[in-house]
Amino acid sequence: MLYYLFFFLLLQYPYIFRDPDNFIITPANPIVTPTHIQHEWYFLFAYVILRFIPNKLGEVIVLTISILILYTFLLTKSIYSHPSSIILSNQLIFWIFINTFNLLTWVGAQLIEDPYILISQILTITYFLFFVPKLWKFIIYLLLLQISFIIIINLLFIKLFINLLFLILYVSPH
């Protein structure tokens, strides 16, 4: 039922979730971005994070990491699965992350003013601190994968060297 209600709203009123200030009809000035423009609601968390990065390469790296944080819930075996979901500390960490994400989205909809700047900086640091333990697990996983790959390559080269040595010693004419 809720699914049909959502589709009804989406199909009948497609602009219901958009900011009405973005549709003010004024003459366009291609040089100056209007101050009332607000990003779409699903980009607001990224907009807040990108607001304080000074260079473009840093923005690309931080945006990629911020989206990878969201995928870590899906791609890794979560510590919030059934047996550990009862543990209070895991629940607390999970809900702190969800609230941080929601607050980042809310701060992104606010004007760039004094209290919101400090709040967004604190929330951005909190958002990335959630990823630090998972980042170390991911780095360790990559290192182990790289070490195992190096071992396999070395074993293949040793086998190839032994085969070549065998061919040189026994197959070549004396």
Helix axes 56-75, 131-166, angle to 10 degrees: 90
Domain containing 58 equals 2-129
Looking at residue 62, what is its pLDDT? 87
Task: Find the distance separating the first CA and the last CA of the chain, reported in whole Å.
Answer: 86
Quick one: tokens of 10?
Answer: 């989406």
DSSP type of residue 120: H
What is the C-alpha to C-alpha distance for residues 83 and 163, in angstroms, rounded to an integer? Answer: 51
Looking at residue 46, what is its pLDDT? 87
Residue type, 43: F
| pTM of the predicted model as reported, rounded to 2 decimal places | 0.57
Say if residue 145 is in the same domain as residue 113: no
Say if residue 33 is in the same domain as residue 72: yes
Residue whose pair of structure tokens reads 């791609």 in the numeric block: 75
Quick one: tokens of 109?
Answer: 């909809």
Domain count, the chain: 2
In tens digits, the chain (174 residues) has pLDDT values of: 888 888 888 788 877 767 666 666 667 777 776 666 667 777 888 888 888 788 888 888 888 888 887 777 666 555 555 565 567 766 777 788 888 889 999 888 888 888 888 888 888 888 888 777 766 666 666 667 777 777 787 777 777 777 777 777 776 565
Say if residue 81 is in the same domain as residue 136: no
Please, what's the b/e burial string for 56-83 (b: 16 or more CB within 10 A of its CB; e: otherwise)? eeebeebeeebeebeeeeeeeeeeeeee
Looking at residue 29, what is its pLDDT? 72
